[in-house]
Amino acid sequence: MRIELALAFAMLPALLSAQDRVDVKGRIVNEQGDAVEYVQLGVPRLQIGTISDADGRFEISLPCDTLEFFHVSYQPASFPVTGPADDLLIVLHGQELPPAVFTGGDTKEKYLVRPGMNVLKNMGVVSTALRSEHPQGRELGSVARAVKPFLVQDIMLTVRSNSIPGCVASFNIYRIEGRNESFVNVLHAPIYFEVALSDDPQQLDIRPDEPVLLEPGRYFVAFQIVGYDPQALQAYLAKPAEERSPGELTMDFNVFLKSSYLRESALGKMEPFPVNIGVAVKGLEYQ
């Protein structure tokens, strides 16, 4: 069993044709003029999205529509696209979020979520791969439920193998709200980490730099690839199709039998997904 989830795959409305699109290039900075890394941008209603690089640079092809920008440390922004652009400058303004308020009382160590049941004794694989010049920022992960206030201390994940050079990934945490299941970011700061090249499994244990306190409710803990070595991707794309190995520029995970969600592109719609990649969250539950 192998479930292929290529980052290059785009879900577009049937009526959207190539001539409807324009190319937009630019850079994203903060109020001080410093680059803002790994910003999610796109047109959510059309399931079109990508992520800026470590220098805040981006390129996206889209119809003339409103281009939206999101980063957990800044206020959301938007820009009306009316035609092609080669040097668009987007300035994001800092976001002042309320600090985490810690509840008094005793705490106990606890897993907020565990991976679930491993399918087919490690034979089931979920793969996410770089297959286009502008990967789309797919997110996949696990659902957790906090019964009491919960302080996140460790987010854990096993990467079965990784052949993406210079890979930088992130964990995002969203609160799932309402009957229509709105996904609301709860982080005050990004959680970035590097994933080494390896044909062998890697046990990742990521500790957030800032406190992440979850109030009772449902949450989606999502994994996302945000950075990579662009030269490696260019070398792959320069090869004739018949010379490209399906295992190149790919990250594999074991399949766990617990339903979750999948977002196909940055800022796109979260869709129910029948399995997950085994994210676990451990921390302190307030009594």
CATH code assigned at 55: 2.60.40.10
Bigger pLDDT: 246 or 149?
149
Choose the most confident range, by mean pLDDT, from 220-224, 246-250, 262-266: 220-224
**Nearest-angstrom CA–CA distance, 94 and 71:** 10
**Are 124 and 66 in a shared domain?**
no
Predicted confidence band of residue 197 (pLDDT cuts 50, 70, 90):
very high
Find the range with the poorest average confidence among 1-10, 109-118, 205-214: 1-10
What's the pLDDT band for 12 if we cut at 50, 70, 90?
A: very low
Domain end marker among 33, 59, 92 = 92
Looking at the chain, the whole-number percentage of residues with pLDDT higher than 90 is 76
Two tokens, residue 203: 């046990």
pLDDT score for 121: 65
Q: What is the mean pLDDT of residues 212-234?
A: 95
Asked if pLDDT for residue 3 goes beyond 50, the answer is no
CB count within 10 Å of CB 210 equals 11
Boundary of a domain, candidates 92, 123, 145? 92
Q: Print the domain residue range for 59.
A: 10-92
pLDDT of residue 18: 47
pLDDT digits (tens, 9 = 90+) for 33-80: 999 999 999 999 999 999 999 999 999 999 999 999 999 999 999 999
- Domain contains 98: no
- Assess whether 195 and 119 both reside in one domain: yes
Q: Quick one: 240 and 196 in the same domain? A: yes
Res 6 pLDDT > 70 = no
Mean pLDDT, rounded, of the chain: 89
Clarify whether residues 133 and 88 are in a common domain.
no
Residues 69, 113, single domain; the answer is no
Of 92, 127, 162, at which residue does a domain stop? 92
**What's the confidence (pLDDT) of residue 86?**
95
pLDDT reading at 275 higher than 70: yes
Question: Looking at the domain assignment, is residue 216 inside a domain?
Answer: yes
Structural domain includes residue 52: yes
Same domain flag for 45 and 120: no
Residue type, 261: Y
Question: 3-state class of 35 per DSSP?
Answer: strand
Residue 191 has pLDDT above 50, yes or no: yes
pLDDT at 1 over 70: no
**234 is a domain residue:** yes
In percent, the amount of the chain with pLDDT more than 70 equals 89
- Domain annotation covers residue 97: no
Q: Is the pLDDT of residue 119 over 90?
A: no
Same domain, 58 and 117: no
Residue 102 in domain: no
Q: Does residue 5 form part of some domain?
A: no
At residue 18, the 3 state secondary structure works out as helix
Tell me: do 86 and 112 sit in the same domain: no
- Reply yes or no on whether the pLDDT at 143 is more than 60: yes
Does one domain contain both 136 and 26? no
The pLDDT of residue 17 is: 46
Is 226 a domain residue? yes
Residue for token pair 């999101």? 70
Residues 136 and 253 in one domain: yes
How far is 249 from 195, CA to CA, in rounded Å?
12
Based on the domain organization, do 149 and 214 belong to the same domain? yes
Total number of domains constituting the chain: 2
Q: What is the CATH number of the domain that holds 197?
A: 2.60.120
Q: What pLDDT is attached to residue 2?
A: 45
Is the same domain home to 36 and 151?
no
Per DSSP (E only), the strands in 101-201 are 107-113, 117-118, 125-129, 139-146, 150-159, 161-162, 168-177, 182-185, 191-194
